[in-house]
Structure formats: C-alpha cells, structure tokens
Amino acid sequence: DYWAVLITCFTLQKHIQTSKLPTELEIMKFCANLSFMFTEHEDLLERYGAAKSAGFKAVECAFPYHIDKEVLTETKNKFGLEQVLLNAEPGDCLGFGARKGEEEQFMSSLKKSLEYCSAMGTKRLHIMAGKKMEGVGQEEATQIFLANLRRAITHLEQAGVVGLIEPINPWSVPGYNLDTFQEGLYIVKTLNHPNIRLQLDMFHLQQVEGNLTRNIEKYLPYVGHIQIAQVPARGEPNSAGEIDYKYIFTCLEKLQYDGWVGLEYKPVDKTEEGLGWIKEMGYSL
C-alpha cells in the first residue's frame, strides 16, 4: 500500500541520516609500545594496567624476557589486552640474525621468543639483525641473515607467527646490520614468503630515505607492521618535528592499510597527557 511504502522509505532515510557510518578515520588501530610509553611505571607489568586505563586495546613491547611468560600472559589477560608484537630475545648485540658464527644463538633466541609468542597469543615477532662485526662486510652479513631467516620460516609457520625485519637508522643505532630499506626489501623479496615481512617505522624511514609518500607506496605491499614517532626527537606524532602525521595517516588509509600502528615514541611529558593527538587527528582508541 502507498502509505506503508512511504513510511518505510521515510524510516529508512531517517536511519541512514542518523546512523554512524564507517569513515576512513576509523581505520587506524593504535597499540601502545610499553618499552617507550608509560615508563612513569618502572615495572613493565604495571604498564599493562596503565595502557588499559588510558583506553588502549592492544600493546607491543621489545624485550620482556626478564619476566616469566606465564606471568606476562596472566597480566595481559587480566587487562584484556592484545599483545600485538614482541622483539626476539636480543642477547648483547641487538640480535643474532646477521652475525657470523652465531647461528646457534640465533636459533635458541628464536625458539625462546616463539614460546613467548605462543603463550601470549602474539602473531608478530621482530627478528633483529644484530650489530656489525669487524671483518664481516654488508654482503656477507646479508647472506647470513637470509640463511638464518630461511631456517626460521618453518618455526614461524608452526607457531603461526610473522617474522618482521626492521631497517634502523644509523643515528639511533650506529653499526646495525640492517640500516637501509633497500636491503630490507631485498631480503623480503628474496625469501618471498608470507611469514617474513618488513617492519616499517616511519621514524627510521624518514631519516634513512625521506620521500615518505612515494616510499610508503613502494614498501607497503611488503609490510607486516608499522610504527611511528616524530623526527628527530622521537616524541608524539603532534610534537615538533619533520613529519606531518595527519597526512601520513591519510596516505595509509588511501592504501587501505588495516594493520596495527605501534606507538614507539618517547612521550615529551607524561604519557597520558600526550595522548590528545589521537582525538585531535580524528581517531579514537
């Protein structure tokens, strides 16, 4: 009947007008890096509670291996947080991946790190290349890293974990074995396996290569995780520095990046006081 159809159409139009439609700004998912944020709490376990209180649904951290994995898992679960990322156990040289003669240490570190991933439900593991060794050139170090990662793939597959490699700028970490994005991309392309991906930290990319718009387009198809911080002081995205993060997030949205964005920055002041940028840029936790 005419009136029934008219009422239905009016009701539908009203629903469309008042419903909260998904927007591009809702795509970004931010996780707190507990090695950099909430350091007002000396105890790593307390930072989980602080992150939850601040509204985070997920966290990442570098090296939690001084704490029993069951204790970490219990703490994470208590606060209902997802553990997005861990770094592999680093030893004394920021990893073993590209270090000659340390293949056994590499595998031992990998296995222990994957045990933590399995316990905590973590699906991403940053596998570190380690510091450069005297007498070992870049080409040889890259081949060592490739060989170690090939051995790692089976273990990563069994654990359901993606191994990430991250180029790190030479000012923050001088003498690191993986300090260019071209080298990182070469490794990922050579291995050509879904369990080995790039970790793209804008803080490092800006300092090593710049040209962020084109480089994000270039590297994103090979990326398994993104991290952010302002350059050069590594503060919040809206702190003084070289990167316009509102624009960067727009680039990521246009390229349909739907993974986590790790907040690996050093708060200028107290962590919670510095979180206003999230709302300012149109996002929420």
Annotated catalytic residues are: 166, 264
Q: Where do the DSSP E strands lie in the chain?
A: 29-33, 58-61, 82-87, 124-126, 162-165, 196-201, 223-228, 260-263
| H or E segment and range at residue 263 | strand 260-263
Q: Under a CB-based contact definition with an 8 Å cutoff, are residues 98 and 141 in contact? A: yes
What are 84's two structure tokens?
A: 């997005």
Cα separation, 190 vs 149, in Å, equals 11
Residue type at 61 in one-letter notation:
C
User: Minimal CA–CA distance to 248: which of 264, 268, 226?
Assistant: 226
Q: Under a CB-based contact definition with an 8 Å cutoff, are residues 202 and 248 in contact? A: yes
DSSP annotation string for 74-117: HHHHHTT-EEEEEEPP-TTTTBSTT-TT-HHHHHHHHHHHHHHH
Q: Give the residues across from 83 on adjacent strands.
A: 59
Report the relative pairing of strands 162-165 and 124-126 from DSSP bridges: parallel
What are 59's two structure tokens?
A: 């966290």
